[in-house]
Amino acid sequence: MVLLHVKRGDESQFLLQAPGSTELEELTVQVARLYNGRLKVQRLCSEMEELAEHGIFLPPNMQGLTDDQIEELKLKDEWGEKCVPSGGAVFKKDDIGRRNGQAPNEKMKQVLKKTIEEAKAIISKKQVEAGVCVTMEMVKDALDQLRGAVMIVYPMGLPPYDPIRMEFENKEDLSGTQAGLNVIKESEAQLWWAAKELRRTKKLSDYVGKNEKTKIIAKIQQRLEENDDDACLNSPWADNTALKRHFHGVKDIKWRPR
């Protein structure tokens, strides 16, 4: 099995094993799916930390409003009355006005916190240092653990607009967010190794040879558009001669080292 140390830019992401005979179409999709899956776990952990501290999401039309404004507009958090944490709520105001302040009690809070830490450990970049390969099964296990913890603490479920529920239902809206920019579409993912694009029409062994004990550093990125100067400049290979030749003839591109 070839060992791939997957990076985005210069940042380590995870280790992955694949036979040299693997079609790069399949491998590229697999790497992108793992990369995006880990991002999903990270987003959920971040939101669940807020859930543990400040309760469920407020309705969109109530977010950011003061108590006086909510009273004046006669707005009501109907889901807040339904989605009460097990064992009752403890009030802890959300200063940025996203969540309703009806936090879980300490025991239920620890259920969420402990599960969050376990899920983070499964997809942690420290797995690279430990020599542990990450699989889609591990990502799914982390997601299942997080889902189970939310069900324990909120047996009545979460509001349909709560980002945690939306993530679990794969209905998350990341448009216009940094989190959305981090996601790489499977159809537009590219793998690079040794300053070469690993083209989807070939096999991994076409690049790394037949030695199944080979270890490589593979960089994942979104496919570049030839008329997108910024994308070119942000490429991890923007200072690479081969890529310069690939974009030969594109006007006004200033190549710079990264």
Model pLDDT, residue 224: 77
Q: Dihedral sign, CA of 167, 172, 177, 183? A: positive
What tokens were used for 33?
Answer: 């799916």
In a domain, 65, yes or no: no
In a domain, 157, yes or no: yes
How many independent structural domains does the chain possess?
1
Name the one residue in this structure whose structure tokens are 């300490």: 106
Rounded to whole angstroms, the Cα distance separating 135 from 141 reads 10
| Predicted confidence band of residue 67 (pLDDT cuts 50, 70, 90) | confident
In a domain, 58, yes or no: no
Residue 256 reports pLDDT greater than 50: no
Q: What is the mean predicted confidence (pLDDT) over 42-55?
A: 98
In a domain, 117, yes or no: yes
What tokens were used for 80?
Answer: 């807040």
Q: What is the DSSP letter of 61?
A: G
| Predicted confidence band of residue 235 (pLDDT cuts 50, 70, 90) | low
Q: What is the DSSP letter of 202?
A: S
In a domain, 120, yes or no: yes
> Count of residues for the chain?
258
Residue 92 reports pLDDT greater than 80: yes
What tokens were used for 214?
Answer: 């080979």
Mean pLDDT score of the chain: 90
In a domain, 195, yes or no: yes
Indicate the SS3 state at residue 182. Answer: helix
| Predicted confidence band of residue 35 (pLDDT cuts 50, 70, 90) | very high
Q: What is the mean predicted confidence (pLDDT) over 28-42?
A: 98
Q: State the residue range of the domain holding 46.
A: 2-50+111-222
Residue 218 reports pLDDT greater than 90: yes
In a domain, 242, yes or no: no
Residue 14 reports pLDDT greater than 60: yes
